[in-house]
Each structure stands twice: as C-alpha cells, then as structure tokens.
Structure 1
Amino acid sequence: MNHPAARVCITCLLFSIAFSTPVLAWNRATHMVTGAIAYQEMKASSPATVARIVVLLRQHPEYKQRWASKLNDASLSEDDRDQYLFMLAARWPDDIRGNVYDHPTWHYINYVYAPQQGIARTDTMLATGENILEAFEQNKQIVRSNVPDSTKAIALCWLFHLSGDVHQPLHATALIDNQFPAGDRGGNLFKIKVMMSSQTINLHSFWDGMLLGDDDFQAARNLAVLARQTVRREQLPQLGKTDIGSWSKESFQLAQDNAYRSNTLAAGTDQEGAILPPDYVATVKPIAQRQMVLAGYRLADELTADFTN
C-alpha cells in the first residue's frame, strides 16, 4: 500500500543510510569479454584509436607489475597482445581491490526499488559516496585532458570497467522491503539457490557469473567473437543513448522486471537460499548476454568519441 507514513519512512531512509558494497560485477571474465568486444569493434572501425589506447595503457603505473608477464607469452600474436591488454584493463579495477587505486563506491548506484511502498525511482538513491555516474564522467574528463599518460591510463581502465558495471542490472538497484529495510545491496543480501541441490549464493553473484567463469584469454576472446555474432549492432536500437545516466536507468528497469521479477522472486536466508523458478536461468541469460554485448559496443563508441573530440 502507498500510505503517506510509508513514504516518509522511505524518504528518511534515503537520506540517512550510507554504506559501501564490496561487489564485483560482472566477474573478471565477463569484464574481459566487454574489453574484447570493444577492441574488436574499434579494430575494424577505428584502428588508429586502438593504437593510441594501447600506447597509453602501456604507461599504466602497474603495467610491469600486473600485465607485462601475461602479454609476453610467446604464443600470442601482436594483435592478441593488444586485445589482451584491453581485456586486462577492463578487469583491473576488480584486481586492485584494497589498494591505493581502489574506489569501492564507484562500481554502482543504488536507485531505490521499494515495491511494497510503490516506489521505483531514479531521481533518488541511497547515499554511498561517489557513485558510478560521477566516477564515469570524472574519468572521461581525465582521458580528454592534458594530464600525464600514466594518469590517463588509470582513468581509461575505469572507463572500461564502469562501462561494464553499469550494464549489470544489480549495479543500479537497492531493493528495500520488509526483509531488507536498509536495502539488499544490489542483490548481495538476496540469498538464492539455482536448484535444490545447489549451494546457497546471493543473487548478485549469480548474475555476475552466469556468462563465463574462466578468465583465460582464449575463452574470453572466443566468447566476445560469438557474442558479437549473436547480438549485432542493428539489433540494439538503444545504442542511440550515449550517456551513462540513460544506461543506468535501463539497468534499473531490467533489475525490476527481470532480476527481481517485478517483486515476485523470493529471497531465502544465509542458511537456505530460495530456489529460483525453473525458467529463471533460461529467461535471464539472454538478457545478461545482451547487456554484456551492449556494454562492449558502447565502450567502443565512448572511446572513439573520447579520442576523436
């Protein structure tokens, strides 16, 4: 019911709750796929931009520490190395959790979904510090500025990564209800089981890992090729929306309609997750795949614009 008292309660909650959510989304392997999709798109449409980005990423402060040994694999061609660098850049913000470059609140935005009170709003959010929208714009300005290349390389990694994160529906959502009065942290507190025999996990982790579990270069590259063949640009009219605010609102709607199934999906407990409906995986996996591909296409378009303007 939509009582005034309930609205007051939710409004107070919105302005009083602040927390950080230690989440990874998508998983590292899926971020690598979005980086590969962007690389493959740009290699065909803007190879000069790819070359400029590769030069910048090689100036990253952690290039030698984290990436050089992987990229020096003798089995990789020069093209493989450049593509692999895009993939490593896309996952880097998850690889550096807890170090000086980490920004935990940059990965998400908590738009309020409080279906029991009839509230689903993108003009109000739970307070978390700098969110994904602010972080994206901040790093885009750095890439377009005259700062040192090493600083641009860090900002590029964040643009790669946040382009992926914002397309994971549960990175745009805070479910608030009787079970989660302070929010479910983008599904991190929402306990489920895929089948009766499965272990209890959270809904966020399920969405993170449903597309690819292996963060091997070949596996991620091959999925990127297949995904581009399966979901082509002409099938995605929403590519016309070029601002991250619109992307986040798309994800918020997908979370409501599909991740939470219009508030019909049941949550369990830490000890016993609620079993997902029999058709849930088959229904949401194509949505997740489309979001992954959309993220890769949009990243390619964003990077092309950043280095053209």
Structure 2
Amino acid sequence: MAARVFGRLLPLSLLWALALPAAAWNAAGHRISAMIAWESMDVPTRDAVATILRQHPDFEQWLLRANGADPDLTAFLEASTWPDDIRRDKRFYTSGSEEPTPTQPGFPDMERRLNWHFVDRPVGRYERLLPSPGVIDQQLVALARTVGDRKEKLSARAYALPWLIHLVGDAHQPLHAASRYGPDGQSDQGGNKMTISNPLHAHASSISLHRYWDDLPAPPWLNGSRLHSTVIALISRHPAPAATGTPEQWIDESWQIASEHAYPPEVDAVPTITADFHNQALTIANRRVTEAGYRLAALLRQLLR
C-alpha cells in the first residue's frame, strides 16, 4: 500500500484511544463471528477453548447469562464482547486519563487497553507514513502466541483468549484498519470524527461513519435463537474460504475495503448514506463478520490442536 508523508506528525496513542467512542462491530457482530467460529470448530478445539475460558476471572458472571444454553458456548460468546464490555466496567481504568484501579485476582492489571482494538493506516487524498497509535496487528500475534503456549500459566491464556476472539473480529471491520487525514494533518480516527446522515435509519439518522459500520451486521441486542438464525443464514450465503490467511492479510483486506468502499461520496459537508451505498456496505459487513468467524475457528484449531 503506497503512502506519502503529508504535513506534520500528529496523532498520539492517547488522543486516538480517548477519542474512540465506538467499538469495532457492535456486540451482535462479535457474537455472530464467535458463533460461526464455534459451529466451525471440532470438538477437541471446543473442549480446549472451554477449559481455558473456565479459568477467566469473569467466567461465573458470563454463565449468569446462559438462560439454559450450553455454558461453554455462552462463555465463548460472552468472551467475544468482553474487551468492549470492560469499557463501562468500573473495575478497569483507561491509561492516561484515569488513575489505575486495584488489580483483581486473575488479571495481570486492570487497564482497558483501548489501543489494542485498531491500527491507524492512512487512506485517501492525504495518505502519509505515520507510526500507528493502535497495535491490533502486533497484539493479534502476541495473543495467539500466549493462547497456544501450553507452558504459559493457564491464567495468562485465559486472559489472552477473550482478547484474541474479539480482536479477530475487530481486524475485519474496515474502519479499524484505516483513517482519512485532511490537508491540516488531522485524522478522522477511523471515521469516528466523520458525521454522516442516514435517512434509511429513523432512529440513528445522524451518527459517526464508524458507528454506522459497527451496527451494520445486526442490532446490538441480537442473541439467542435470533442470533442462531442469523448465523445459519450467513453460513449458507458465505461458505468457508479455502485459505484463511494471516492477521496481517486480514488487516490489509480491511484497509483496502476502507480505501475503496467505507466512505460515502462527500457531496455535502455531512455525507448522506444512499440506498446503493448501504446495500454494498451491508454486503461487505456480512461477509467480513462471517470470514472472521471461519478464520477464528481455523486459528484456534491451529493453536490448540
């Protein structure tokens, strides 16, 4: 991906992280990918995953949401959203803006690690070479190493696994791999700072472009039988790819999609989502959450076999 230096170096990791109000895919998007992964994993891989997640400090809290469902599947689905859930959890703190909170048993610390969710690669007219404040590319590799290392403490693997599940999903959201920079050197922070008009959505007609993409796969409350029906439909529409690729390739794909398809035409100061743009974006989002599920399953099979 060709890039050119333009303007002064600007974004610091703290500024990007503090300005990131939206999570990559909403809760439903992450649950969809996780359930597709669960359906795609063989029994030994499921058992290995379940053994690790049972050691997570929040495992018992996750089971409170089972409502009679398979407890191992419930934990897997809850783990997929856990790195976003802790943004609102007062046990945790945001580095640089809050004082550290007491470390709870089973955790290495209580930092929310907002910069793990993305990598900031420039797209558009003002492409530039910059160090990324986000480190999802690095963390996917490090977390996979921890999860797959049987010499690691089980507590370390239990902490790493929900992050790995979640970040595989994040890596497939186009605007968690890219940002536009203006002539003043300012980043739109993965579309978080770009407001769009969406006349197709009566209850969210004016939101950020990033939030628009997050919500494409399904409403955040999607769960239970409706989640399962959605997953069955997506699996029937998008078969598993022959090759699963690497985290670096997933992020490159997201960057390319962001470059070509994530941004609506800027005819007005506030771009409007048209029916054609929405249909294309929805197709892309559905494909990406499905690919994330297949790829997560393949990665966990490789790490835990």
Helix, strand or coil: the match of 1:210? coil
- Give ranges in structure 2 of 5+ residues lacking alignment: 93-109
Determine whether 1:105 maps to 2:115: yes
Q: Give the corresponding residue for 1:57.
A: 53
Q: Which residue of 1 aligns with 2:179?
A: 174
Give 1:187's aligned residue: 191
Where does residue 255 of structure 1 map in the other structure? 258
Match of 1:154 among 155, 159, 168: 159
| CA displacement at 1:7 relative to structure 2 | 5.2
Q: Secondary structure at the match of 2:196?
A: strand
Query: Which of these residues, 218, 227, 233, is aligned with residue 226 of structure 1?
Result: 233
Q: Give CA-to-partner distance per residue, 1:225-278, whole Å, 9 cap, x none.
A: 211111112xx45x342x1111101000001111125xx34574xxxx432233
Calculate the TM-score normalised by the size of structure 2.
0.83
- Please show how residues 195-274 of structure 1 align to structure 2 within 5 Å: 195=199, 199-213=205-219, 214-233=221-240, 236=241, 239-241=243-245, 243-260=246-263, 264-266=265-267, 268=269, 273-274=270-271
- What's the offset of the Cα at 1:195? 1.1
In structure 2, the partner of 1:3 is none
Which has the larger helix fraction?
1
Structure 1 residue 184 displacement after superposition: 0.4
SS at match of 1:135: helix
Equivalent residues in 2 for 1:3-152, closer than 5 Å:
9-10=6-7, 12-13=8-9, 16-18=10-12, 19-21=15-17, 22=20, 23-42=22-41, 46-64=42-60, 66-71=61-66, 73-74=67-68, 76=69, 80-97=70-87, 99=92, 100-113=110-123, 115-117=124-126, 119=127, 124-128=129-133, 131-145=135-149, 146-152=151-157
Deviations 1:74-106 (A, max 9, x none): 3x2xxx332222111111100111611521000
Alignment CA distance shift 1:125-1:47 (3 Å): farther
Q: Aligned AA for 2:223?
A: D
SS in 1 for 2:212: helix
CA offsets 1:143-170 (integer angstroms, 9 cap, x no match)? 1222222221111101100000000000
Measured at CA, do residues 245 and 7 of structure 1 come closer, stay the same or move farther in structure 2, by a change above 3 Å? closer
Residue 283 of structure 1: how far off its partner (Å): 1.4
Q: Which range is displaced more, 29-38 or 147-156?
A: 147-156
CA drift at 1:8: 5.1
Amino acid of the structure 2 residue aligned with 1:27: N
Matches of 2:234 and 2:302 in 1, distance apart?
A: 23
**1:219 and 1:266 mapped to 2: Cα distance?**
38
Gaps of 5+ in 1: 1-5
Give deviations 1:7-61, integer Å, cap 9, x for gaps: 5534x32xx421333230110111011110000000xxx2111011111101101
Q: CA deviation at 1:108?
A: 0.3
CA distance in structure 1 between the aligned counterparts of 2:4 and 2:148, rounded to whole angstroms: 42
Query: 8 Å contact 2:63–2:74 — kept in the other structure?
Result: no
Distance in 2 (CA, whole Å) between partners of 1:164 and 1:230 is 19
- Separation of aligned partners in 2, 1:139 and 1:225: 29
- Determine if contact 1:54/1:82 at 8 Å carries over to the other structure: yes
Amino acid at match of 1:172: A
The answer as to whether partners of 1:59 and 1:150 remain within 8 angstroms in 2 is yes
In 1: Cα distance, 2:234 partner to 2:250 partner: 19
Q: Report the CA distance shift for 1:298/1:168 in structure 2 as closer, same or farther (over 3 A).
A: same
Identity %: 28
Aligned amino acid, residue 143 of structure 1: V
Counterpart code for 1:9: F
Out of 143, 163, 171, which is 2:168 matched to? Answer: 163
> Equivalent residue of 2:193, what SS?
coil
**Separation in 2 of the partners of 1:69 and 1:164?**
24
Aligned length: 274
Which letter maps to 2:195? K
Distance in 1 (alpha carbons) for counterparts of 2:80 and 2:74? 10
